Chain A
């Protein structure tokens, strides 16, 4: 154990202070240069530098810095490679964990979700921050005391035998791989938008940035790069929101004043619900929906009729020599009509779902300040809806919290601090750095909504800002507007906005120069790259360290282990890039599912392993299997996309109405119960294991 080879405490402490001082100075310089860089670009923009160049400079400069840190930190020493030499000061480990933790979903998706779902979206904020209480109180200090390299390491040593370690490896792969695919997808999206290159090329450019870092320097390079990435991402997130806040309220602290903006949009929502123009739009969508319902009732005949009508129109336009534009439009509409009734049904069903949503008040969004759907004092149906909505909110919070405390790429970060004391402090720092962004996300959502309600809604169509058209051109699914009631003025229900662009478009919504948009994109890239680095390292280490070194060839020398780990990392990265390039369906669901899987697989086994000496190896294996099994079974039988993948056609049976995303709410208790029951009927673990449990409980003493 590296701790044993430490110098005397006084010398070690002096070295620690020196190291901390070096890091402080390095990152102060880095931050200063970053500010200078952004200001210079801003000035250059005013002097006429083209937007494409700004995007390119941001991408190139940030990735070059991350790569440079990677090269400076290159290493083949296993303690450096796996756990960054175990000398990362608490505050920097906190920053690194913040970047490691905040993925493309936190940076790009969270504010969008809050914009679209109001209070209900706060489940993500609660879950993703409250989970760190579980990390701090139940896991981080004990894992640090244990002081090995990976999470399967702990399972293997604590429970003995190959099964717990093997299950740990399997669950690590399951959670981390789906997660890393989503990150690389996000990297591809941002890179392709910044540079204007193809999505696939964007993925591979971004992959270069990820690999140069984790490949060369392992955890050491990843840690110090993540610190740099945190600084970029938090600046990128805060600047546009502060600006928007000054513009709307005159106060530069959006987190403190957005409550009043929330009150204003809540009042405005009531106006919009009874606004006559909004109602005409909703009625138009209702008519559209009932027309689609008729088509769906007899799709074969409806398809034939529509084809005949379109063909007749094309003929008629040709005959009367109508303008070229109209003719082309009619031909395009005919070409887009599906040939098979099945494809037509799918298309119509999708339009019907959308039309039904847009026939609802507020574009189908719940009221911003209302907790849960339904009404506890209303009709029995409303009461049932309220109960269901609240139950799902609580279940989601539970799964996200327990999942947070079980994701291997977060837990391994606490192996990297110098000691147990700093591991505890490091969680505090991590959470403080994470909370800074989570404090801001709802403020951003509310301020953007205020802007949409008060600036966009009611504007005439030819006076709409240019960014709306630009985003529509990127992808109509992200932003589209149609003058449904033909009054020439935009109504709320005439606009569809995708949650993913809320953050990326904030700078433009606030009317900021393009350099801020570039900064935001660089921040999103930093969030996605840092998480991808942490995940790839976790996957590669569990394959090379746990599977190969601990199970296949325990005599492998250290150089060989590190080299192997790097090879595995390369292969996993390429595999993840390949999967991401296929643009898999429902990528957001997969990420959320990773939380339920991690929660069910790891949380019971890890916490009982520390807090209950009596937990036996067989119990842990069975508990992990049954927890994962139940979670998997529930998701596969209830989630539409997984049902189609596994070809399940039985009717969907929700247990207590719980959504598939929160399947862990069944898996975690089942895991605990199985572990406790099986432990009680199997012989207690051997003394050596009980000694290990004692060992992790006390920061000093009982050295093995």
Chain B
């Protein structure tokens, strides 16, 4: 088999890189962005200082969403390119 991927596969890989890139951007902002400006983001949020809440709960919810959205989008991408395993 040749090492050259088909155009469909190229497209698939570009798309999956884009999905990964965007989600990592969200990950970075939620983690390091909020932590870097933690002192500035101290307004009260249901009792918590906002940046405290993000580090204790908000970021964690976003992480679960990132991983869940990734699984959803990639599984759909697999099907669109007939690369899913069950086909």
Contacts and interface: CB of A to CB of B under 8 A. Distances in A.
B55 to A, nearest CB: 4
B1 A691 contact: yes
Contacts of B46: 259-260
Interface string A404-420: 00000000000000011
Nearest to A12: B86
A594 to B, nearest CB: 21
A428 interface: yes
Nearest to A10: B86
A125 B31 CA distance: 11
Contacts of A386: 39
A434 to B, nearest CB: 9
A132 B47 contact: no
B5 interface: yes
Interface in B28-56: 31-32, 35-36, 38-39, 42, 44-49, 51-53, 55-56
A435 B56 CA distance: 10
A699 B80 CA distance: 12
Given A130-B31, A138-B20, A428-B71, A435 B38 contact: no
A399 interface: no
Contacts of A133: 23-24, 27, 63, 66-67
A651 interface: no
A371 B71 contact: no
Contact of B67 (A132, A401, A438, A700): A132
Contacts of A439: 56-57, 60
Given A122-B52, A371-B42, A263 B47 contact: yes
Nearest to B40: A376
A427 B67 contact: yes
A690 B49 contact: no
Interface in A563-618: none
Interface stretch (A60-68, A287-295, A390-398, A619-627): A390-398
B86 to A, nearest CB: 5
Interface in A684-704: 687, 690-691, 694, 697-702, 704
A369 B52 contact: yes
A282 interface: no
Interface string B15-26: 010001001100
Nearest to B82: A700
Among B27, B39, B52, B71, the one with the most A-chain Cβ atoms within 10 Å of its Cβ is B71
A700 B85 contact: yes
Interface string A150-186: 0000000000000000000000000000000000000
A421 B78 contact: yes
Nearest to B65: A428
Interface in A353-392: 369, 371-372, 376, 386, 390
Given A122-B56, A137-B23, A397-B31, A130 B63 contact: yes
A102 B74 CA distance: 28
A263, A428, A432, most chain B CB atoms within 10 A: A428
A141 B74 contact: yes
A442 interface: yes
Contacts of A213: none
A410 B1 CA distance: 33
B60 A136 contact: no
B67 A136 contact: yes
A500 interface: no
B25 to A, nearest CB: 11
Q: Identify whether the interface residues of B are mostly helix, strand, loop, or mixed.
A: helix
A126 B59 CA distance: 7
Contacts of A401: 31
A126 B64 contact: no
A435 B74 contact: no
Contacts of B44: 263
Contacts of B70: 136-137, 424
B51 A262 contact: no
B48 A259 contact: yes
B3 to A, nearest CB: 5
A119 B55 contact: yes
Given A126-B55, A136-B70, A425-B71, A698 B63 contact: no
A432 to B, nearest CB: 5
Interface in A422-448: 424-425, 427-428, 431-432, 435, 438-439, 442
Contacts of B78: 420-421, 699-700
Nearest to A377: B39
Contact of A259 (B47, B67, B82): B47
Contacts of B38: 119, 371-372, 390
B84 A130 contact: no
Interface string A119-132: 10010011001101
A262 B48 contact: yes
A694 B86 contact: no
A261 interface: yes
Nearest to B20: A137
A280 interface: no
Nearest to A695: B1
Contact of B49 (A138, A371, A687): A371
A125 B45 CA distance: 19
Contacts of A687: 3
From A122, A263, A432, residue with most partner B Cβ within 10 Å:
A122
A13 interface: yes
A694 B4 CA distance: 9
A614 B70 CA distance: 26
B63 A394 contact: no
A255 interface: yes
A438 B63 CA distance: 12
Nearest to A259: B47
Contacts of B60: 125, 129, 435, 438-439
A159 B19 CA distance: 27
A263 B23 CA distance: 33
A21 interface: no
A699 B52 contact: no
Contacts of A372: 38-39
A263 B20 CA distance: 38
Contacts of A427: 67, 71
27 contacts: A9-B86, A119-B51, A125-B60, A133-B63, A133-B66, A136-B66, A136-B70, A136-B71, A260-B47, A262-B47, A262-B48, A262-B52, A372-B38, A397-B35, A401-B31, A419-B85, A421-B71, A421-B75, A421-B78, A425-B71, A428-B64, A431-B67, A435-B61, A439-B57, A691-B1, A698-B12, A702-B1
Given A130-B31, A394-B32, A439-B56, 19 more contacts: A125-B55, A125-B60, A129-B60, A136-B66, A259-B46, A259-B53, A260-B46, A371-B39, A372-B38, A419-B86, A420-B78, A424-B71, A424-B74, A425-B71, A428-B71, A438-B60, A699-B84, A700-B83, A702-B5
Interface of B: 1, 3, 5, 9, 12-13, 16, 20, 23-24, 27, 31-32, 35-36, 38-39, 42, 44-49, 51-53, 55-57, 59-61, 63-64, 66-68, 70-71, 74-75, 78, 82-87
Listed from nearest, the 6 A-B pairs whose CB atoms lie closest are A259-B47, A371-B38, A424-B71, A259-B48, A260-B47, A122-B55
